[in-house]
Chains A and B, each alone.
Chain A
Amino acid sequence: MPRRKKRKEIFALGNEAVVEGALLAGCSFYGGYPITPSSEIMEIMAARLPMTGDGVFMQMEDEIASMGAIVGASLAGRKVMTATSGPGFSLMQENLGYAIMAEAPLVLVNVMRGGPSTGLPTSPAQADVQQARWGTHGDHPIIVLSASDVQECLDMTITAFNMAEKYRTPVILLLDEVTAHTREKIEVPNEGEFEVFSRTVPSMPPEWYKPYEETVRGVPPMPPLGAGYRFHVTGLTHDRNGFPTQRPEEIVELLERIHRKIDQFFYDIQLVDEVQTTDADVVVIAYGSVARSAELAVHQARLNGVRAGLLKLKTLFPYPRRHTEKILGHARTLVVPEMNMGQMSREVKRVNMGRASVRTINRVDGQIVTPSEILKVIMQG
């Protein structure tokens, strides 16, 4: 067996780890507009991306244009990314919908801060969870991922790029200010130690190519613009050739396919980490930085003789239903701590359907939910 090459260790911010992950995943275009607490992603991208050979960095005039730029670059065959925070995320919603309709792979990082509006620019929140799911108009599928520590920022960014490419869809990575502005020692994996997925390009001659043809996976192959394949892109509901249609059977075919291509691969997309859940009576369901508070609280509860466990959500949408249902076989109580008024607990309650009692812990004062707050609720059972 070949000896594993030693990995490079760095002491980095969550935001820096996102950039490391993006570059490892092959990101070669970044268009964006800076906003606290995501600005370091853009700053470091500006320094690093042009050094990678064909990498292009563009500062755009606002977040609407940022999305436009990365959708365009994605259609031209690039792996693309942008990063923002709540107020900018709202501006990105329109073109996000366009990217879903045009099936343009891209990664959108939203480092959540307190809102609404300008809100609390330097304080953490998890207030954009439902905006990430339903922010853009129309009935759409979306993949939303999150990360709770700095190493995960790197790993989940790679995962986000892979899912975007594999399923030809925008992927949103939701971080919060705590995760993004925590520095930790992390390991940067060497080439070949992680999977890098790239979009399928058509293998047929250009005259046979139909841009939105039905395939087994529901993901049509995607040539870069300018490679000789005729490729019409529109936000209008389109037929297999990519041209607008109003025929009901073609509308249904398109909408069912873009949902199916994500729904049927739930086992690949829904990622969680479980800590001592197998025998747990009380299970904390948490994500982002709050999952770290929860981990300590669960540890302390076990020391106090309570069978507690943690289900850490790394995929927020599609909601990891089967993992939650497995836990509902034995758990009496689910505790859902969040830095919002209860956005993820809605999903938990929807899956729970009255089986266990669902306790929520909500903080909206710009502070992270602490381990002692979670422990208190766990101990109440």
Chain B
Amino acid sequence: MKPQELDRFEIRFSGLGGQGIITLGKIMGQGLALGHGYNVTQTQSYGPEARGGSSKCDLVISSGRISYPKAESLDLLVALSQEACNAYYPYLKPGGALVIETELVGQQPTNRFLGLPFTALARDKVGVAQAMNTVVLGALSFLLPFVQQAIMRKTLETVLPAKIRAVNVKAFNLGHRLAKKEWGDDAGEVWRVEEGFGDD
């Protein structure tokens, strides 16, 4: 399948240090850059703390050359903490999508959001709370129409060490399945511009 044309599609992952935000952005970026062939810049900012501080990771995805590497006006904001949601919601484009961790973001700034209890899912269904970021990756692979699930899963497998591969593939599939169930098939319709449907 020919990749969809994109002109500066901007995603911001935000939350707390230790949630795996930057790893999430890195794997997604690698999948889109090397697997899908887009130009991608992934930038990050984080506090000096090892965990507990704020953490943010921007992805800019484009079919053409990317000049400014950071996100300025977001097509997709993933907020995994209340603080992050409050801080970055104003940067969301009109028509952009907000994805939140429903247990950690209690006060939603709008009723238009897509949410799942990612941490609880990782802890209860996968058995490892740290796999939360991979559940998010799985859910986004469903949501974003230009992401092919198979390529993203393969990237995940290549990047991770063997020891934690199986757990994360499980978390990825879980995220993808639940997003499809909870958010519905047309959740990512806003961004779809070409007629090609389906990933496989």
B34-A185 in contact (CB<8A): yes
A371 interface residue per 8 A CB criterion:
yes
A371-B72 in contact (CB<8A): yes
| Known contacts A11-B29, A11-B34; is-contact A185 B68 (Cβ 8 Å) | no
Binds A, one of B45-53, B133-141, B186-194: B45-53
B68-A371 in contact (CB<8A): yes
Across chains A and B, which 7 residue pairs bring their CB atoms closest together, nearest first? Answer: A295-B67, A185-B33, A183-B42, A296-B67, A11-B30, A296-B68, A11-B33
A178 interface residue per 8 A CB criterion:
yes
Seen from chain A, the residues whose Cβ lies within 8 Å of a Cβ on chain B are 9-11, 36, 121-123, 149, 178, 181-185, 289, 292-293, 295-296, 299, 368, 370-372
Partner of A292, one of B42, B45, B46, B67: B67
Partner of B41, one of A36, A122, A184, A293: A184
Minimum CB distance partner of B69 in chain A: A182
Minimum CB distance partner of A179 in chain B: B69
Q: Which size bracket describes the interface of B in this complex? A: 20 to 34
B130 interface residue per 8 A CB criterion:
no
B44 interface residue per 8 A CB criterion:
yes
Least Cβ distance of B72 to chain A in Å?
7
Could you tell me the distance between the alpha carbons of A36 and B67 in the complex, rounded to whole angstroms? 25
Could you tell me the distance between the alpha carbons of A9 and B45 in the complex, rounded to whole angstroms? 25
Partner of A185, one of B40, B43, B45, B72: B40
Minimum CB distance partner of B33 in chain A: A185
Least Cβ distance of A333 to chain B in Å?
21
Least Cβ distance of B129 to chain A in Å?
25
Could you tell me the distance between the alpha carbons of A9 and B30 in the complex, rounded to whole angstroms? 11
Least Cβ distance of A41 to chain B in Å?
16
Interface string of B66-95 (1 = CB under 8 A from A): 111110100000000000000000000000
| Known contacts A185-B40, A299-B67; is-contact A122 B29 (Cβ 8 Å) | no
Least Cβ distance of B58 to chain A in Å?
9
* Chain B residues positioned under 8 Å from A184 (CB to CB): 33, 39-42, 66, 69
Partner of A183, one of B26, B47, B72: B26
* Chain A residues positioned under 8 Å from B29 (CB to CB): 11, 183
Could you tell me the distance between the alpha carbons of A371 and B73 in the complex, rounded to whole angstroms? 12
Among B40, B46, B67, B70, chain A packs the most CB atoms within 10 A around the CB of B67
Query: What are 10 A-B pairs at a CB distance below 8 A?
Result: A9-B33, A9-B34, A11-B33, A121-B48, A178-B69, A182-B41, A183-B29, A184-B42, A185-B39, A292-B69
Could you tell me the distance between the alpha carbons of A293 and B43 in the complex, rounded to whole angstroms? 14
Interface string of B57-69 (1 = CB under 8 A from A): 0000000001111
* Chain A residues positioned under 8 Å from B42 (CB to CB): 182-184
* Chain B residues positioned under 8 Å from A370 (CB to CB): 68, 70, 72
Least Cβ distance of A303 to chain B in Å?
13
* Chain A residues positioned under 8 Å from B67 (CB to CB): 292-293, 295-296, 299, 371
| Known contacts A185-B39, A299-B67; is-contact A122 B46 (Cβ 8 Å) | yes
Partner of B68, one of A10, A121, A122, A292: A292
Could you tell me the distance between the alpha carbons of A371 and B67 in the complex, rounded to whole angstroms? 10
Minimum CB distance partner of A184 in chain B: B41
B72-A123 in contact (CB<8A): no
A11-B40 in contact (CB<8A): yes
A295-B69 in contact (CB<8A): no
* Chain A residues positioned under 8 Å from B30 (CB to CB): 11, 183
Known: A183-B30, A184-B41. 15 other contacts (CB 8 A): A9-B33, A9-B34, A122-B48, A181-B43, A183-B40, A183-B41, A183-B42, A183-B43, A184-B39, A185-B33, A185-B39, A292-B69, A296-B67, A370-B68, A372-B72
| Known contacts A183-B29, A295-B67; is-contact A122 B47 (Cβ 8 Å) | yes
Among B33, B68, B70, B72, chain A packs the most CB atoms within 10 A around the CB of B68
Could you tell me the distance between the alpha carbons of A74 and B46 in the complex, rounded to whole angstroms? 36
Minimum CB distance partner of B35 in chain A: A11
| Known contacts A121-B48, A122-B48; is-contact A182 B43 (Cβ 8 Å) | yes
* Chain A residues positioned under 8 Å from B41 (CB to CB): 182-184
* Chain B residues positioned under 8 Å from A368 (CB to CB): 70
Could you tell me the distance between the alpha carbons of A299 and B34 in the complex, rounded to whole angstroms? 27
Least Cβ distance of A100 to chain B in Å?
34
* Chain A residues positioned under 8 Å from B45 (CB to CB): 122-123
Could you tell me the distance between the alpha carbons of A149 and B70 in the complex, rounded to whole angstroms? 12
